[in-house]
Amino acid sequence: MKKKNLVKALGLLALALTGCQTAKTTDTFLAEEIANIEVQHTLQTDLIEANGSFINPRTIDKEGKIVYVPIDDWTSGFFPGSMWLDYELTGNEKWKLLAEKYTESLDSVKLLKWHHDVGFMIGCSYLTGYRLCHQPAYKEVIVEAAKSLSTRFRPGAGVIQSWNTDRGWQSKRGWECPVIIDNMMNLELLFEATRLSGDSTFYHIATSHADVTMKNHFRADNSCYHVVDYTLKDGKVRSRQTAQGYADESSWARGQAWAIYGYTVCYRYTHEPAYLQQAEKTLNFILNNKNMPQDLVPYWDFDAPDIPAAPRDASAAACTASALYEMEGYGPGKGYKELADKIVYSLSTPAYKAEQGTNGNFILMHSVGSIPHGAEIDVPLNYADYYYQEALIRKRNLENNEPFSFEK
């Protein structure tokens, strides 16, 4: 079946299935989801506020206790970002005040140069806040963070190096200039920094990275590798491997989501057709994959050996849904919104959405951090919640004929 027909067919299937699952109107559905999010986040922030200073929730441990992370953790921007999304969902000033407090605790992250995830950390917190409230001080943080991220650009290879290779487990892999597909998610910070500052350096770094990644990270079937290692001198590919997937040649589910979302963002800022086409090609790969479940919440790796017993990854599904709502704006009538709705409705069921007061007060259950590292297996993750909230906002905006938050 051709891609266009496949997407259309799956879109119709989504409509049929969601119609069977619930007779609720979209307004009722969103109202119930927002109410549930507010309950969980009120419980979560009550614990934080009782502590007296900001503690940043990421996940839960094996005993079900909330795991808090320092500000230099790559996930530190997601919960502050969720507070901004709560404010956007509800208009309640309570969430704005908490968002400002938690976001501003990350101020020093703008100077972090030893890994690439400053884009996640500042983008989901300061950039989300700036889009909603346009604080001048936030603009300065965003641009400074982009300068820090830009120090990781390697001109010989034309890419932003992901990890340093002189510390931790990364130092044991023999890499010279490792680049992970996740890095596509950090380019938004650079594009925005150019828009806010007028300095095109950030834009050119972002497009160089996107172009080289598009050339070297994708297989013939348009699935993507997790890690590509380059020579620093001239950018020759040294190896293609994985760090968080099942195997070097397997298709790690969240990596595919990062690619779909990341290239959609690149199209947003450049209007370069090749970027949107890459997002569509990788989307087509996961939709055609024989191991994609009917509810469109993927197993943690499309090639996991223990499917169907393998853990699902709600974070990959939520990220993909959010990207699909944006893609709908660039290709209306292709069924992207229907696919996104199908994913969102799946995540809203008791199979994935936690009961109130459980799950460490996170919204979604059943995400996976890194099975090869034995870390965060079948647990809630703050970034799954963030992208789920973002997907809900984009769904509402599409249905109300309102612009996405990045256009406000």
User: What residues act catalytically?
Assistant: 117, 182
Question: Whose CA is closest to 106, among 120, 91, 88, 116?
Answer: 120
Composition of the chain by helix, strand, coil, percent to 5? 55, 10, 35
β-pairing verdict for 177-180 and 227-230? antiparallel
For residue 377, the surrounding DSSP H or E stretch is: strand 375-379
Q: Where would I find the H helices in 198-250? A: 201-216
Coil vs helix vs strand at 233: coil
| CA 260/CA 7 separation, integer angstroms | 15
For residue 368, the surrounding DSSP H or E stretch is: strand 367-370
| CA 96/CA 85 separation, integer angstroms | 9
Strand partners, 281: none
- Contact present, 217 and 278 (Cβ < 8 Å): no
